[in-house]
Amino acid sequence: MLINLLIILFLLLIIYQFVVAYLNNTIEGLENNEYQNYDSNNVIILAQQNAGNIQVLKQQIDKVLGLNKQVQDLSGNVTSLTEQVNNIILSQKQYTENSLPSSPPDITGATD
Flag whether 9 is in a domain.
Answer: no
Tell whether 89 is covered by a domain.
Answer: yes
Q: Is 20 helix (H, G, I), strand (E, B) or coil?
A: helix
Q: How would residue 30 be classed by pLDDT, with cut points 50, 70 and 90? A: low
Instruction: Determine the residue type at 41.
Output: N
Domain count along the chain = 1
Task: Assign 19 a pLDDT band (cuts: 50, 70, 90).
Answer: confident
- Report the pLDDT value the prediction gives residue 80, as an integer from 0 to 100: 93
Q: Tell me the pLDDT tens digit for each residue of 31-90.
A: 556 666 667 777 888 888 888 889 888 888 888 888 888 888 888 899 999 999 999 999
The range of the structural domain enclosing residue 81 comes to 42-98
Is 32 contained in some domain?
Answer: no
User: Does 91 fall in a domain?
Assistant: yes
- More confident position, 80 or 97: 80
Distance CA 69, CA 75 (A): 10
pLDDT at residue number 104: 75
- 107, HSE (Cβ side, Cα atoms, 13 Å): 4
Q: Answer whether residue 55 is part of any domain.
A: yes
What is the DSSP code (8-state) at residue 102?
Answer: S
Closest CA to 29 of 60, 68, 63: 60
C-alpha separations of 31 from 8, 24, 48 in Å: 34, 12, 21
Residue 108 lies in a domain: no
**Between 99 and 85, the higher pLDDT residue:** 85
